[in-house]
Amino acid sequence: MSLLHSSKAYVFNLRTTSSAEAKRLWRKDIKEKWNWQCAYCGDKNNLTIDHIVPRCKGGPDFSNNVVCCCNKCNQSKGHEPWDNWYLNQEFFSINRYDKIRKWMKPDPVKELFLYKPRRNNLT
C-alpha cells in the first residue's frame, strides 16, 4: 500500500472505518517510508512523528509535513524552524537535509479531468 495524504484519507478510501485506526496506519506508513529511522539523526529508538513546520506555526497535518523522528530530536526541535535547528546539530547531514526538503515538496498537480476538444461534425 502507498502512503496516503493524511489520516483522514485512510477512512475516506475505506482502508479502515475508525479514525483511531486511520491515524495508527498513517503513522506506521510514515515510519516505513523513512525506514524506521529518525529523519534527522538516523536513530532507530523511541520513534515518533514530527511536524516539520509545527502545527502551532501553521503547519498542516499532511504527509509532506511530517517525518519519522526520534523522541530526543522531537523534544530538542520543539517549535523552532526545522532548518535553523537542524543546521546547528552535530549530527547534521546534507543527504538527510536534502531528503527532508524533497519530502516537503508538494505532490505534482494531477489532472483529474481529461477534457479533449470535440470535433464539430456539422460543418
Q: What is the CATH number of the domain that holds 56?
A: 1.10.30
pLDDT in tens, 7-44: 777 776 667 778 888 889 889 999 999 999 999 999 99
d(CA 99, CA 122): 55
Confidence of residue 106 (pLDDT cuts 50, 70, 90): confident
- C-alpha cell of residue 110: 494531477
Predicted pLDDT of residue 65: 94
List of residues 6+ apart from 23 with CB closer than 8 A: 7
In a domain, 21, yes or no: no
Integer CA distances (angstroms), 61 to 7, 43, 53, 54, 56, in order: 9, 23, 10, 9, 11
Range of the domain at 48: 34-104
In a domain, 78, yes or no: yes
What average pLDDT does the chain have?
86
Q: Quote the distance between the C-alpha of residue 3 and its chain's center.
A: 9
Confidence of residue 118 (pLDDT cuts 50, 70, 90): low
* 99 membership: H or E segment, kind and range: helix 94-104
Does 118 or 42 have the greater pLDDT score?
42
Coil, strand, or helix at residue 20?
A: helix
In a domain, 41, yes or no: yes
In a domain, 72, yes or no: yes
Predicted pLDDT of residue 111: 65
In a domain, 95, yes or no: yes
This prediction has a pTM of 0.77
Closest CA to 66 of 31, 21, 25, 16: 31
Tell me how many domains the chain contains: 1
In a domain, 12, yes or no: no
pLDDT in tens, 58-84: 989 889 999 999 999 999 999 999 999
Predicted pLDDT of residue 3: 76
In a domain, 100, yes or no: yes
In a domain, 109, yes or no: no
